[in-house]
Amino acid sequence: MSEAHEPAIAVKDLRFSYGEIEAVKGISFEVMPGEILGFLGPNGAGKSTTIKMLIGLLPPQGGTATVLGTDVALDDPGLQARIGVCFEEKNLYLNMTARENLEFFAALYGVKDADVEGALRRVGLADRANDRVKTFSKGMRQRMMIARAFINRPDVLFLDEPTDGLDPVTAAAIRATIKEEAERGAAVLLTTHDMFEADELSDRVAFMNEGRIVALDTPENLKLKHGTRAVRVRLRDKEGVREEVLPLGDGEATARLAELAASPDLLTIHTEEATLEQIFIALTGRGLAG
């Protein structure tokens, strides 16, 4: 593992074009060991191309990118052995069992004593270890993808929509697993369309649009920067339900909030901070899903 004070992923002015189309236009960012960076943006923003360069599937055409201190352009197998990738498409060997899939990838990574049972138990598939993957449901295949990404205890994880297709309970379990990996010291680059997931997991988020990073900060800072420091209070009155918006940090408003909080007519209190989706729309003029 790289030293804790050195970035696990360091990208500087990275560029890539498909012919005339400039997919990545000189982006720069860093991910520290143990940090989870949410990588957000609509389809076609350049996220996948960036990740392909970082995992060695595409050679950068400009700028530099190092993972664990190694230039990704060197195509170093030693580096590949230390990363884990969870693709959005569930590219598992369907005719092989869950155990065979993990043993195969462990062998490719050079892991001699891979804890296949433990990996399967971690994603709730221990009892299906000897079943062929083609008999698995979409959610089970997704869990297999996670188990495969973790099989070599990677120092850097690239996770593309890791909870896609999972029920809320399983998704929560997978998120907990991702957090454990980060706590262990792995740097995580997380791509997701799920704003709740990005918000819950990410230490920082990077918004990418049209090949550029348009914002990069912690979710809290982004919300503060782009949202309103206020609370919206809903009350029952004679005419039905009414709302009041009270700015935070204001003496009068604080007193009024205390008064309303004690009132039997109080229904709900919500903060007025912006969601990541709203921030992205504000920055780019379009939604994340598009």
| Segment contacting another protein by CB under 8 A, of 89-97, 115-123, 178-186, 259-267 | 89-97
| Segment contacting another protein by CB under 8 A, of 100-108, 116-124, 181-189, 228-236 | 100-108
Element (H, E) at 51: helix 47-54
Is position 57 an interface residue for another protein (rule: CB under 8 A)?
A: yes
How far, CA to CA in Å, does 286 sit from each of 11, 177, 216? 26, 32, 17
Cβ proximity to another protein: between 121 and 132 the closer is: 132
Give CA torsion, residues 180, 72, 48, 221, to 10 deg.
Answer: 50
Using CA atoms, how far apart are residues 256 and 250, in angstroms rounded to an integer?
Answer: 10
Is position 69 an interface residue for another protein (rule: CB under 8 A)?
A: no
Residue from the set 43, 91, 268, 271 that interacts with another protein by CB under 8 A? 91
Residues near another protein (CB under 8 A), total: 31
Per-residue burial over 40-49, b = 16 or more CB atoms within 10 Å of its CB, e = otherwise: bbbeebbbbb
**Which residues, numbered 218-257, are part of the site for another protein (CB under 8 A)?**
none
How far, CA to CA in Å, does 126 sit from each of 26, 120, 122, 214? 44, 5, 8, 42
CB of 51 to another protein, least distance (A): 10
Is position 271 an interface residue for another protein (rule: CB under 8 A)?
A: no
Element (H, E) at 213: strand 212-217
Is position 131 an interface residue for another protein (rule: CB under 8 A)?
A: no
Cβ proximity to another protein: between 93 and 250 the closer is: 93
Using CA atoms, how far apart are residues 142 and 90, in angstroms rounded to an integer?
Answer: 7
- Which residues form the interface with another protein (CB under 8 A)? 1, 55-57, 75, 77-78, 80-83, 85, 87, 89, 91-96, 100, 104-105, 107-111, 132, 148, 152
